[in-house]
A and B are shown apart, each in its own frame.
Chain A
């Protein structure tokens, strides 16, 4: 126990200031009222869905929870069920085999059903494109509010995208 406490004290606080939202990432009009986003902004619940990604985006989404970005410190957390989520964070081209599952998760999500499409694949299908096995971009399967470009996006870019989705217009 002493070693753990010593290490915690020695490490100190690593958390950095969060970035600002970027309205240019919106692909749909803002749907949250000012008052609502002020409330929600401090208590957002995200359900992450890998719809067919290479797992690169997931690696960077994991980084959001490290002490530097400290997502939970901003009042944002990941939930296990779409039924508990305000926002879906969707990666990958949507694999054909995931199409039904992604639609079902979206249907289960309560309003406001915000959707952030992550990465070049989520935005356009990326290098995988559309085929018998790939539905391409996330917007081909469910409505999208905000996109985060990158292959994969850096944790900072992801954070900007998430904060944009819950910002007022």
Chain B
């Protein structure tokens, strides 16, 4: 089939996700990128693979995933074994910049004319060591080196730099922020990540389709349900597995519980970062109640490993369902009181309103997704646009705002919190009876790609999976929405004062581990 009136010939991938894939040459890829841009689509992910061990004449591949009206469109560009290069896509999608640099660090395939600086490699392994190449021995270790990274310098009267990280001054993941400031005003922020890179994608290659879900569930711990579900969608699509309806409804229950847990925590910390510690104490109390019930019912407070290929590992009893519904009512009442207090608190609103603005036009240019995107008019939510079972029967209401400031991101969280509480009660009430786990997936054809795509609490998580006929994973790419949102933070902070950075950063609350891999 054709998409966006382009030449490329797409085939529909099997499985739960609405995904299409085409092979292209450079001209075809570039033309498709422009067509996506012109029709209001967005870049979703960009990754590479090494096919050289598949036979004579095989080389590398670049895969680019786009979000368009029909769902996910994946374009694969074959590259030669010698000197693999492709055109720099960051001229069309600026968000491709870091993705392209990460692809080079892992595979040695280069964007022609792109930003040459490393991203994941911090001089701690040699320049010509590409861990995701099939013939690379990833167990090799190298002595750590000091890296002299080429930050962009801002010059002028009174400009100075503040360097923060990698170890941050709180209980936060590691990253480095380089602020260029005059007085208190931020002129520029440059992010440098990759600190928690721990070789996850190479580790997948030592695992099988049946056990990879555990690693996927530990790509970003706060989104363990979203990743596990996306991984299982991908594994199930490879093997054409049928997942029982009860399991799909329970997966959605887990996903919405994960969203509520994270939104409760964020709403507390957003109050705290604007000096209302009352908000933190209250919301963290609610979050603890929430996590305790998850632990009691599903055996794990964060529901790690609750979603497995073929179904779910935890079930819900009638009594458990009643507990969940009662808790939703209680949390809804409490959160409504707290929302009222937040809305009426002049000091809090003064800090929230107009702070850290991300304009809708810029959000669109940067392919910003997830709740940060929705607070800047980017109306992407897979639960409404490309709903899988059971979302196709739940009529999820998307939460969007135009202001793009901290206040808008707080508002989106409140609205999504209340909507998720509604969804959870609906899921519990309509949960189908029957099996919750069917025997695992058989691996598919050698060159097949399985796709998982799930709207996690932060944004859409994508998993692209390839496996051999023996069930061993050949390649598993996990993509975190943070890749596409972090660059927007660099813009949202401009012109704000340094003390507002923690508040703005918290209103984004992006993952480090999820994109460092």
Residues of A within 8 A of B (CB): 3-4, 7-8, 11, 14, 48-63, 65-68, 78, 80-81, 92-93, 95-101, 105, 126-134, 151-152, 154
Contacts and interface: CB of A to CB of B under 8 A. Distances in A.
A129 to B, nearest CB: 7
A98 B295 CA distance: 32
A131 B285 CA distance: 39
Interface in B320-343: 337-338, 340-341
B interface, size bucket: 35 or more
B198 A93 contact: yes
Given A127-B215, A132-B139, 18 more contacts: A3-B337, A3-B341, A50-B174, A52-B195, A55-B173, A55-B514, A56-B304, A63-B287, A63-B291, A66-B285, A66-B288, A67-B284, A67-B288, A95-B197, A100-B144, A101-B166, A130-B139, A132-B129
Nearest to A61: B171
Given A56-B302, A66-B287, A97-B124, A78 B341 contact: no
Given A63-B288, A96-B125, A133-B197, A50 B172 contact: yes
Interface of B: 122, 124-125, 129, 131, 138-142, 144, 146, 166-167, 169-174, 194-200, 202-203, 214-215, 218-222, 224, 265, 278, 281-282, 284-285, 287-288, 291, 295, 301-302, 304, 337-338, 340-341, 344, 511-514, 516
Given A129-B203, A133-B199, A98 B174 contact: yes
B220 A131 contact: no
Contacts of B513: 52-55
B282 A133 contact: no
B282 A56 contact: no
Say whether chain A's binding surface is mostly helix, strand, loop, or mixed: mixed
Contacts of A59: 221-222, 265, 302
A81 B169 contact: yes
A65 to B, nearest CB: 7
Nearest to A62: B171
Given A50-B172, A66-B284, A152-B302, A131 B202 contact: yes
A3 B140 contact: no
B278 A132 contact: no
A97 B214 contact: no
B60 to A, nearest CB: 20
Contacts of B174: 50-52, 98, 101
Nearest to B141: A132
A29 to B, nearest CB: 28
A38 B460 CA distance: 50
Nearest to A57: B221
Contacts of A98: 166, 174, 195-196
Contacts of A130: 139, 141
